[in-house]
Chains A and B, each alone.
Chain A
Amino acid sequence: MSTTLQELATLDRVIHEPARLMIMTVLYAVSEADFIYLQNECGLTQGNLSSHLAKLEEANYVDVEKKFKGKYPLTMCRLILKGRKAFEEYARIMRAAMEGPARKR
């Protein structure tokens, strides 16, 4: 078995799930976003987003904090260093796997 193929088996399953991949992508792009923004951007229901965020928080990829912006309460989410590195590693493995078919085009 090739090394690249073997590497695919090490893909981070926490990130690999499509909804969580969307959340990670948005949080990678911005420094912080609140729950409603993430819900709108990813098109997820409140319960769905909540459970995916809990999984990402459990894996220590995302920091969820309740705070106020003026008088309005916000559930702020941000990617922490471990999550950022995990996302970059995930992207590296995916790229390595896709390099072959992409070059043939």
Chain B
Amino acid sequence: MSETSNAILEARRRARDYWDIDGLPALLAGTATVSYGVLWLPTDNHLPRWWGVALVLGLFALLLLSESKRALEWLKSRITYPRTGYVAPPQAGPDAECHSSTIISIMKEPEVQELLAPAEGRASRRAFEFSDFPIFTLLLLWWFFSFNSWIASLSCLATALWFWWKNKKDPPWFEIAGAAIAGLLSAILTVSDRRRLCIVLIVFGASSMVKGATLLISYLRQHPAPQA
């Protein structure tokens, strides 16, 4: 029997997925990406102090990241926790892994699994995983060094295919659509390479916002506000 049906791993996976269940992380990440893309739009390669602008925008990205985390916590404490409760995201440290490996070996047997298995399972629906970073770094490097609209489009197409291939059973359609639209716009719009990157950021951000909003609406429908 596979380890994925282990009750502890399942509980851990459900706790991890719970963070995204209300769509707020996707909504805020999308908003941050769109606003960042919009801020980059007026910049150009030929600005006299281009690196100064890049530094300021880099610092702004860090600020945006930390503030969106605080905003997320604030929103969750008003929307999610009163409705479906709070759970700390599972720790991924070596200690947690050590505990889980001990318990996995103990509880692998079918009878124990049958005894402990929860009624329903929920597969992870995340499009981006930590393992994706090397792929995206390679695609971005390819893009930055070649500076060509067709390379940008091919990178977006490769991203869309990667999303689909990675999760064929339940493809992340919003991310696939975002990558496909970004690739299409990269190919047909006649703009500078930096602006092309901004457009890709805006399209990716917008697809994340749409996904977040859809999830949030369905979450609010499923879980009405608790009676005071």
Contacts of A36 in B (CB 8 A): 81-86
Write out, one digit per residue, whether chain A residues 17-38 have a CB within 8 A of any chain B CB (1) or not (0).
0000110011011111111111
Minimal Cβ-Cβ distance residue in B for A33: B87
The answer to whether A39 and B77 touch across the interface, beta carbons within 8 angstroms, is no
Please tell me which one of the listed residues B82, B88, B107 contacts residue A33 in the complex, with CB atoms under 8 A apart: B88
Contacts of A25 in B (CB 8 A): 7-8, 11, 116
- How far apart sit A34 and B80, CA to CA, in the bound complex (Å)? 12
Q: How far is the CB of A9 from chain B (nearest CB, A)?
A: 18
The answer to whether B91 and A31 touch across the interface, beta carbons within 8 angstroms, is yes
The answer to whether B82 and A41 touch across the interface, beta carbons within 8 angstroms, is no
- How far apart sit A43 and B118, CA to CA, in the bound complex (Å)? 10
Minimal Cβ-Cβ distance residue in B for A43: B119
Q: How far is the CB of A41 from chain B (nearest CB, A)?
A: 7
The answer to whether B112 and A30 touch across the interface, beta carbons within 8 angstroms, is no
Contacts of A88 in B (CB 8 A): 102-103, 106
- How far apart sit A35 and B81, CA to CA, in the bound complex (Å)? 10
Contacts of B109 in A (CB 8 A): 95, 98-99, 102
Please tell me which one of the listed residues B77, B84, B103 contacts residue A72 in the complex, with CB atoms under 8 A apart: B77
- How far apart sit A51 and B81, CA to CA, in the bound complex (Å)? 22
Q: Is A54's beta carbon under 8 Å from chain B? A: no
The answer to whether B106 and A37 touch across the interface, beta carbons within 8 angstroms, is no
Contacts of B15 in A (CB 8 A): 26, 29-30, 33
Question: Which parts of B76-100 form the interface with A (CB within 8 Å)?
Answer: 77-78, 81-91, 99
Please tell me which one of the listed residues B73, B82, B88 contacts residue A31 in the complex, with CB atoms under 8 A apart: B88
The answer to whether B84 and A37 touch across the interface, beta carbons within 8 angstroms, is yes
Q: How far is the CB of B125 from chain A (nearest CB, A)?
A: 18
Interface range for A = 35 or more
Q: Is B74's beta carbon under 8 Å from chain A? A: yes
Q: Is A2's beta carbon under 8 Å from chain B? A: no
Minimal Cβ-Cβ distance residue in A for B77: A70
Known: A29-B11, A70-B74, A71-B77. Is A98-B85 also a contact (CB below 8 A)?
no
Q: How far is the CB of A99 from chain B (nearest CB, A)?
A: 7
Q: How far is the CB of B133 from chain A (nearest CB, A)?
A: 25
Contacts of B91 in A (CB 8 A): 31
Contacts of B116 in A (CB 8 A): 21, 25
Q: How far is the CB of A96 from chain B (nearest CB, A)?
A: 9
The answer to whether A33 and B8 touch across the interface, beta carbons within 8 angstroms, is no
Q: Is A10's beta carbon under 8 Å from chain B? A: no
7 other A-B residue contacts (CB within 8 Å) besides A30-B89, A33-B15, A91-B112 = A29-B11, A36-B83, A71-B78, A74-B81, A92-B106, A98-B112, A101-B111
Binding site for B on A (CB under 8 A): 21-22, 25-26, 28-41, 43, 69-72, 74, 76, 84, 88, 91-92, 94-95, 98-99, 101-102, 105
- Interchain residue pairs with CB less than 8 A apart (9): A36-B82, A37-B87, A40-B85, A41-B118, A70-B74, A94-B106, A95-B109, A102-B111, A105-B110
Interchain residue pairs A-B with the least CB separation, the first 5: A37-B85, A36-B85, A70-B77, A29-B11, A29-B12
